[in-house]
Amino acid sequence: MEAIIQQFFNLDIMARALPLVLAGLRQTLLLCFIVIPLGLVGGLVFALASLSSSRTVRWSMIAAIDFFRAVPPLVLLIFVYSGLPFAGIRLSPLTAVAVAFFLNTSSYYGEIYRAGIESVGRGQWDAARSTGLSAVSTLSHVVLPQAVRNVLPDLVSNTVEVVKLTSIASVVALPELLYSADMARSVTFNASPIVLAAAIYLVMLWPVVRLISRLERRMAS
């Protein structure tokens, strides 16, 4: 038992690794602040385009959403970071991660938005238009608020997945939380920094997970 504690829960090593791990946490939070808002906005654009009256636009967007949902995000990230340079496009690790995650998360957010918009009855559209509201005003003031409320647990749940997704940014040497913890592990030859990183993820995400459960129960009641 003592060996396990020393190898995985060594407080002295955790304390020494903490500055490096916190620097990685700042990079993770920066990435989340970039990717999540872009994904939410991009997802809304994807959803509206997939509901377009134009068959060409609609099916093109549906194909794009299916493609980016089907391709593993790790494969997409490696392609953006290591494949695009062959076409003369060289991106920094942060930009490559942001682009790859934007495409991946937008497709998932897009499907969630689409389901929410379709859950609002057509009568809501007709009633709003009959009062003189334009199509844009109807969408923004009547339909979208109801749609977002209907799928809020899914939106929050997907945001949690985005935060966890940032851990694969380590494959392009972006010094996010997991990468920094792994660097500390390689220096100390001890797994305690990885456990510290896991504890930080737990502290960040557990309250959100509980919030999702409350939202789901509220929606079901």
What the chain holds in terms of domains, given with CATH numbers, is: 2-220 (1.10.3720.10)
Amino acid at 1: M
Q: Within 10 Å of residue 28's Cβ, how many Cβ atoms?
A: 25
Q: pLDDT for 88-143, tens place per residue?
A: 999 999 999 999 999 999 999 999 999 998 888 777 777 777 777 777 788 888 88
Task: Report the predicted TM-score, pTM, of the whole model to 2 decimal places.
Answer: 0.86
| Cα–Cα distance for residue pair 111/133, rounded to 1 Å | 26
Q: Which two tokens stand for residue 137?
A: 């005003």
Residue given tokens 């379709």 in the structure block:
118
Q: 153 Cβ partners below 8 Å, 6+ apart?
A: 212, 215, 216, 219
In tens, the pLDDT along 35-80 reads 999 999 999 999 999 888 888 999 999 899 999 999 999 999 999 9
- How far is 69 from 111, CA to CA, in rounded Å? 10
Q: Cβ neighbours of residue 183 under 8 Å, at least 6 residues apart?
A: 20, 175
What percent of the chain is predicted at pLDDT more than 70? 99
Is residue 42 within 8 Å of residue 109, measured between CB atoms? yes
**Nearest alpha carbon to residue 80 among 67, 89, 70, 71:** 89
Residue 221, pLDDT > 70, answer: no
Residue 29 has pLDDT above 90, yes or no: yes
- Is 6 a residue whose pLDDT tops 80? no
